[in-house]
Each structure stands twice: as structure tokens, then as C-alpha cells.
Amino acid sequence: DQQVKQNSPSLSVQEGRISILNCDYTNSMFDYFLWYKKYPAEGPTFLISISSIKDKNEDGRFTVFLNKSAKHLSLHIVPSQPGDSAVYFCAASAPEIIFGKGTRLHILP
Amino acid sequence: SQTIHQWPATLVQPVGSPLSLECTVEGTSNPNLYWYRQAAGRGLQLLFYSVGIGQISSEVPQNLSASRPQDRQFILSSKKLLLSDSGFYLCAWGGGGLGGYTFGSGTRLTVV
């Protein structure tokens, strides 16, 4: 049974607009949540994380929101840029890191 | 600075052949090391992790094994590959938490 779920396999967003990637989890004991970005044929790179005691963390164009009551987190990218086109993985620390299946983000010109 | 090396980048192997993928980490000592696999249509699945030399934990039963002969070396092996072993294999190191893990560049394994 998947503990970290990304229900949207892909998402297309116009350049300059906001990209919102969603993630749901089932285990309320997760300590940290993370987002990774992955280009084809490369390893994932760490993007941003949030502690389970926080509800928001911001780093430049990237903001992660955590809603513990709903067991939901989201990644906001604003403004979206062409280089943001990649697969984004949501992950949770248990303490080993468990990943979702990923969402492919396409930034349209 | 810490770096992680993984090779080869691509590998095509026949069914039934052995496998050995190597991962080394530089710039840190006694790292936690991990092997993940990304199969088609699936996320990143944790296969093995190691907290020290000779200490291996397996997350899923499978046709693969892992070894840690040295502090900064982690090896993924198989005696006889199956078609289902095809995938993108990633080595990672790190303590988890807010910093997550650092991943290598991956090995694309195709079993034919």
C-alpha cells in the first residue's frame, strides 16, 4: 500500500503562471516531507523540505504547504519557467525516505 | 565537498547473467547509503540501505543483493538477472531529515 501518493501523473502549465503539485500521505508519523526534481537519465535533486511541525516553507520561487489534518502537501512554483519541466517526486521521511510515483510537469511556452 | 559516484551509466545484460553496480561516496565518513530503483510507471522504490560496513537492510524481497565492503562503497548485485530487474538504479547517501538524500546519476539497466 502506497504511503505517499501523487495522483496526477502529469501537469501542464503556461510559462509565467503558477504550478501546483499535490501529494497525499497516509502515515501521520512522518517527520519530514521533501520534494525532489528529476530530469531524464539523471538522479533526483533535492528541492525543498518541510518539518511536520511547520505548515509552510518558502525558498525563492518554491513554496511547500503542509496540511496535517488532511494529510496533504503541495508544492507551488511561481512563476513557472521552462527549466522547471521535469518529474517532481514527493517524499516523506520514516526515517528512510519513501517516494511517491512522481508528477511530470510540462511548462508550455 | 561530498560527492557520489555511480557506474556504469547504462548497461544491457542478458537474462540469467550476473550484475554488479558500484557506488562510492567521497568527502564524508560512515555515511548512510541507499539503493533505489525506478521502474517504468513506478516511483522510486527503496531496495536496500546500510548504516555501516557489512550492515545491510533489505526493504523488499527480490532477486538482488547488496554489500558494503568498505565505509564509502556500496554494491548492488545479482547472480542471475530477470527481465523484471530492468530499471533505473540510483544510489544515495545522507542522514535524511530536512536535508534528504543526495543521489548519484543512476544506472539504466536493460535486461534482454
> Phi and psi for B82 in degrees, rounded to 5?
-110, 160
CB contact under 8 A, B43 and A44: no
What integer pLDDT is reported at residue B99 of this predicted model?
83
Across residues B18-34, what is the average pLDDT?
93
Size of interface A-B (CB pairs under 8 A): 67
B101 touches chain A (CB under 8 A): yes
**Mean per-residue pLDDT, B24-41:** 89
Q: Is the pLDDT of residue A96 over 90?
A: no
> In the predicted model, is pLDDT for residue B36 greater than 80?
yes
CA B95/CA B2 separation, integer angstroms: 13
Tell me the mean pLDDT in the region B95-108: 87
Sort out which chain A residues have CB atoms less than 8 A from B99's CB and list them.
Answer: 46, 49
Q: Is B103's CB within 8 Å of A44's CB?
A: yes
Q: Which chain B residues are closer than 8 Å to A97 by Cβ?
A: 34, 46, 96, 100-101
Q: Does residue B95 surpass a pLDDT of 90?
A: no
CB B64 within 8 A of CB B72: no
Q: Provide the pLDDT confidence category of residue B43 given band limits of 50, 70 and 90.
A: confident
Over residues A64-80, the mean pLDDT reads 97
**A9-20 residue pLDDT tens:** 999 999 999 999
pLDDT band at A41 (very low <50, low <70, confident <90, very high): confident
d(CA A19, CA A69): 23
> Could you tell me where the beta strands, DSSP code E, fall in chain A?
4-5, 10-14, 19-25, 32-38, 45-51, 56-59, 62-67, 72-77, 86-93, 97-99, 103-108
